[in-house]
């Protein structure tokens, strides 16, 4: 019951969700780093960052000195990964950041909660979500709006039945993945 409610919510918010990453070329592996969560070392002064890293992290400058060493290390790690991304991937991330900044606090809380749920899904549940998302994306805007209205009118039991009546296709054989 809760899962079907969440599934539709996830479909509506999926534009922000990392689920879309499955439709993009894989990201390059992260650069090696020595980030020990228990001992990140001392804070890193802003003026010790190289110019390229400062440029990437410029939006964080006003609060950099107040960040914990752990948070600074996470941001430095992300800046290093950013440098390895192809331009198309960077642009997509910029678009997502812009969408995130336009969200209300409530929408952000909901997106975070959906992301946490996604992280704890089984592979089968993730596959079902991907399939539902693909089907949703293949609909015309009018069909999507009609489905949204219909979904909102459904009871939890009707939603559960709808999900059972529209299962995802079986996963492809291992040699076709």
User: Has residue 66 been placed in a domain?
Assistant: yes
pLDDT classification of 44: cutoffs 50, 70, 90:
very high
Q: Which residues contact 38 (CB under 8 A, 6 or more apart)?
A: none
Q: Is residue 62 part of a domain?
A: yes
Q: What is the pLDDT of residue 16?
A: 40
Question: What is the average pLDDT across 6-16?
Answer: 46
At residue 38, the pLDDT reads: 64
**Domain assignment of residue 21, yes or no:** no
Range of the domain at 88: 46-139
Mean pLDDT of 132-161: 89
Banded pLDDT at 5 (limits 50, 70, 90): very low
Please report, for residues 4, 63, 137, the alpha-carbon distance to residue 142 in angstroms, rounded to integers and kept in the order given.
Answer: 22, 44, 12
DSSP, residue by residue, the chain: -HHHHHHHHHHHHTTTSGGGGGGSPPPPPPPP----TT---SPPPGGGS-HHHHHHTGGGHHHHTTS-HHHHHHHHHHHHHHHHS-HHHHHHHHHHHHHHHHS-HHHHHHHHHHHHHHHT--HHHHHHHHHHHHHHHHS-HHHHHHHHHHHHHS-HHHHHHHHHHSPPPPPPPGGG-
Question: In the predicted model, is pLDDT for residue 13 greater than 70?
Answer: no
Using DSSP's 3-state secondary structure scheme, residue 26 falls into coil
- Evaluate whether residue 78 is within a structural domain: yes
Does residue 117 sit within a domain?
yes
Q: For the chain, what is the mean pLDDT?
A: 80
Q: How many domains does the chain have?
A: 1
SS3 call for 170:
coil
Percent with pLDDT over 70 in the chain = 75
Distances (CA, A) of 18 to 14, 110, 114, 119: 8, 14, 10, 10
- pLDDT tens string 108-125: 999 999 899 899 989 988
Question: pLDDT (tens digit, 9 = 90+) per residue, 66-112?
Answer: 999 999 999 999 999 999 999 999 999 999 989 999 999 999 999 99
């Amino acid at each position: 019951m809760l899962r079907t409610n969440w599934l539709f919510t996830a479909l509506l918010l999926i534009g922000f969700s990392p689920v879309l990453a499955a439709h993009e070329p894989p990201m390059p592996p992260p650069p090696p780093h020595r980030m020990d969560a228990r001992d990140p070392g001392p804070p890193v002064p802003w003026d010790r960052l190289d110019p390229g890293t400062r440029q990437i992290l410029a939006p964080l400058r006003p609060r950099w000195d107040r960040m914990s060493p752990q948070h600074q290390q996470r941001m430095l790690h992300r800046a290093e990964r950013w440098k390895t991304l192809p331009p198309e991937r960077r642009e997509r991330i910029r678009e997502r950041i812009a969408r995130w900044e336009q969200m209300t606090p409530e929408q952000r809380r909901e997106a975070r909660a959906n992301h946490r749920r996604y992280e704890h899904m089984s592979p089968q549940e993730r596959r079902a979500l991907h399939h539902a998302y693909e089907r949703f994306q293949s609909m015309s805007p009018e069909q999507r709006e009609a489905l949204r209205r219909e979904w909102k009118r459904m009871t939890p039991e009707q939603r559960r039945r709808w999900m059972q009546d529209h299962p995802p296709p079986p996963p492809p054989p291992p040699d076709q993945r």
